[in-house]
Protein backbone atom coordinates (compact mmCIF):
# COMPACT_ATOMS: atom_id res chain seq x y z
CA UNK A 1 0.00 0.00 0.00
CA UNK A 2 1.55 3.28 -1.01
CA UNK A 3 1.53 6.20 1.43
CA UNK A 4 -0.34 8.58 -0.87
CA UNK A 5 -3.28 6.17 -1.23
CA UNK A 6 -3.37 5.67 2.54
CA UNK A 7 -3.45 9.44 3.08
CA UNK A 8 -6.36 9.86 0.68
CA UNK A 9 -8.60 7.49 2.65
CA UNK A 10 -11.35 8.79 4.96
CA UNK A 11 -9.55 8.46 8.29
CA UNK A 12 -11.45 9.58 11.40
CA UNK A 13 -8.38 11.40 12.72
CA UNK A 14 -5.14 12.66 11.21
CA UNK A 15 -1.86 10.73 11.06
CA UNK A 16 -2.93 7.19 11.96
CA UNK A 17 -0.55 4.39 12.84
CA UNK A 18 -1.43 1.73 10.24
CA UNK A 19 -0.86 -2.00 9.86
CA UNK A 20 -1.84 -3.63 6.56
CA UNK A 21 -3.62 -6.98 6.81
CA UNK A 22 -5.02 -9.54 4.39
CA UNK A 23 -7.93 -11.63 5.68
CA UNK A 24 -7.03 -15.31 6.08
CA UNK A 25 -9.24 -18.39 6.12
CA UNK A 26 -8.79 -18.98 9.85
CA UNK A 27 -10.35 -15.56 10.55
CA UNK A 28 -13.67 -16.51 8.93
CA UNK A 29 -16.79 -17.88 10.56
CA UNK A 30 -19.10 -20.57 9.15
CA UNK A 31 -20.89 -17.95 7.02
CA UNK A 32 -17.67 -17.11 5.17
CA UNK A 33 -17.10 -13.63 6.56
CA UNK A 34 -14.69 -12.40 9.22
CA UNK A 35 -15.66 -13.58 12.69
CA UNK A 36 -16.32 -10.79 15.20
CA UNK A 37 -13.54 -11.99 17.51
CA UNK A 38 -10.96 -11.47 14.74
CA UNK A 39 -11.52 -7.71 14.86
CA UNK A 40 -10.71 -7.69 18.57
CA UNK A 41 -7.44 -9.51 17.87
CA UNK A 42 -6.58 -7.05 15.11
CA UNK A 43 -7.08 -3.99 17.30
CA UNK A 44 -5.03 -5.55 20.08
CA UNK A 45 -2.21 -6.25 17.59
CA UNK A 46 -2.21 -2.73 16.14
CA UNK A 47 -2.24 -1.16 19.63
CA UNK A 48 0.80 -3.22 20.65
CA UNK A 49 2.58 -2.51 17.37
CA UNK A 50 1.94 1.22 17.84
CA UNK A 51 3.32 1.13 21.39
CA UNK A 52 6.42 -0.77 20.28
CA UNK A 53 6.94 1.63 17.35
CA UNK A 54 7.38 4.52 19.80
CA UNK A 55 9.66 2.54 22.11
CA UNK A 56 7.22 1.21 24.69
CA UNK A 57 8.49 -2.35 25.03
CA UNK A 58 7.49 -5.22 27.30
CA UNK A 59 10.82 -4.77 29.06
CA UNK A 60 10.03 -1.10 29.78
CA UNK A 61 6.63 -2.05 31.14
CA UNK A 62 8.18 -4.64 33.46
CA UNK A 63 10.83 -2.17 34.62
CA UNK A 64 8.21 0.51 35.36
CA UNK A 65 5.83 -2.08 36.88
CA UNK A 66 3.04 -0.57 34.75
CA UNK A 67 0.90 -1.60 31.81
CA UNK A 68 -2.06 -0.08 29.98
CA UNK A 69 -4.89 -2.61 30.27
CA UNK A 70 -8.19 -2.47 28.42
CA UNK A 71 -10.98 -1.22 30.67
CA UNK A 72 -13.72 -0.95 28.03
CA UNK A 73 -14.22 -1.44 24.28
CA UNK A 74 -17.01 -0.02 22.16
CA UNK A 75 -16.92 -1.66 18.74
CA UNK A 76 -18.87 -0.82 15.60
CA UNK A 77 -19.15 -3.28 12.70
CA UNK A 78 -19.96 -1.28 9.55
CA UNK A 79 -19.53 -3.89 6.79
CA UNK A 80 -18.51 -7.52 6.36
CA UNK A 81 -15.03 -8.59 5.29
CA UNK A 82 -14.16 -11.73 3.36
CA UNK A 83 -11.25 -14.03 2.53
CA UNK A 84 -8.49 -12.15 0.76
CA UNK A 85 -9.77 -8.66 1.59
CA UNK A 86 -6.86 -6.28 1.99
CA UNK A 87 -7.41 -4.03 5.00
CA UNK A 88 -5.68 -1.13 6.70
CA UNK A 89 -5.95 -1.34 10.47
CA UNK A 90 -5.35 2.06 12.06
CA UNK A 91 -5.07 3.42 15.59
CA UNK A 92 -4.63 6.71 17.42
CA UNK A 93 -3.90 7.49 21.06
CA UNK A 94 -6.63 9.73 22.41
CA UNK A 95 -7.35 11.85 25.42
CA UNK A 96 -6.10 11.17 28.91
CA UNK A 97 -8.89 10.84 31.48
CA UNK A 98 -7.78 11.72 34.98
CA UNK A 99 -4.45 10.32 36.09
CA UNK A 100 -4.75 6.71 35.01
CA UNK A 101 -7.05 6.27 32.01
CA UNK A 102 -6.59 7.02 28.33
CA UNK A 103 -8.63 6.65 25.16
CA UNK A 104 -7.47 4.86 22.03
CA UNK A 105 -9.30 4.87 18.71
CA UNK A 106 -9.36 2.30 15.91
CA UNK A 107 -10.57 2.24 12.33
CA UNK A 108 -10.32 -0.42 9.65
CA UNK A 109 -10.65 0.60 6.01
CA UNK A 110 -10.84 -1.65 2.95
CA UNK A 111 -8.84 0.37 0.38
CA UNK A 112 -10.41 -1.39 -2.62
CA UNK A 113 -13.68 0.47 -2.04
CA UNK A 114 -12.54 3.06 0.54
CA UNK A 115 -15.12 1.73 3.01
CA UNK A 116 -14.72 1.88 6.77
CA UNK A 117 -15.63 -1.67 7.77
CA UNK A 118 -15.00 -1.33 11.52
CA UNK A 119 -14.33 1.33 14.12
CA UNK A 120 -13.84 1.23 17.87
CA UNK A 121 -13.04 3.29 20.91
CA UNK A 122 -11.25 1.78 23.86
CA UNK A 123 -10.53 3.05 27.34
CA UNK A 124 -7.30 1.81 28.87
CA UNK A 125 -6.32 2.03 32.51
CA UNK A 126 -2.74 2.08 33.75
CA UNK A 127 -2.22 -0.63 36.35
CA UNK A 128 0.50 -1.87 38.65
CA UNK A 129 1.65 -5.22 37.22
CA UNK A 130 1.92 -6.88 40.64
CA UNK A 131 -1.05 -5.46 42.55
CA UNK A 132 -3.35 -4.97 39.53
CA UNK A 133 -4.42 -1.61 40.95
CA UNK A 134 -4.85 1.61 38.93
CA UNK A 135 -1.78 3.89 38.95
CA UNK A 136 -0.83 7.21 37.37
CA UNK A 137 0.25 6.86 33.74
CA UNK A 138 4.04 7.30 33.70
CA UNK A 139 5.54 9.95 31.43
CA UNK A 140 7.34 7.12 29.60
CA UNK A 141 3.89 6.05 28.30
CA UNK A 142 2.85 9.57 27.26
CA UNK A 143 5.88 11.39 25.85
CA UNK A 144 6.80 8.88 23.10
CA UNK A 145 3.42 9.37 21.40
CA UNK A 146 3.69 13.16 21.64
CA UNK A 147 7.14 13.25 20.06
CA UNK A 148 6.05 10.89 17.23
CA UNK A 149 2.92 12.80 16.19
CA UNK A 150 3.01 14.23 12.69
pLDDT tens for each residue of 52-69: 999 999 999 999 999 999
Whether the pLDDT of residue 2 is over 50: the answer is: no
Which residues 6+ apart lie within 8 Å of 47 measured at CB? 91, 104, 106, 122
> pLDDT tens digits for 6-36?
678 999 999 999 999 999 999 999 999 999 9
> pLDDT tens digits for 68-82?
999 999 999 999 999
> Cα separation of 45 and 67, whole Å?
15
Q: Environment class of residue 36 by beta-carbon count within 10 Å: exposed (0-12), middle (13-18) or buried (19+)?
A: exposed
pLDDT number for residue 148:
61
- Tell me how far CA of residue 12 lies from CA of 21, 105, 119, 134, in angstroms: 19, 9, 9, 29
Query: What share of the chain in percent tops pLDDT 90?
Result: 90
- Give the fold, CATH level 3, of 3-147: Thiol Ester Dehydrase; Chain A (3.10.129)
Whether the pLDDT of residue 117 is over 80: the answer is: yes
pLDDT number for residue 4:
52
- Which band of pLDDT confidence, cut at 50, 70 and 90, is reported for residue 150? very low
**Residue 82 DSSP class:** B
pTM recorded for the entire structure: 0.91
Amino acid sequence: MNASLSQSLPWQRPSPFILPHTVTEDELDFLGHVNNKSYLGWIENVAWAHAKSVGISHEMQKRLNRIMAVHANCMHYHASCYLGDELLIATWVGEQIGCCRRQRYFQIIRPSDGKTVFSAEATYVCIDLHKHQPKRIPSEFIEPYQSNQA
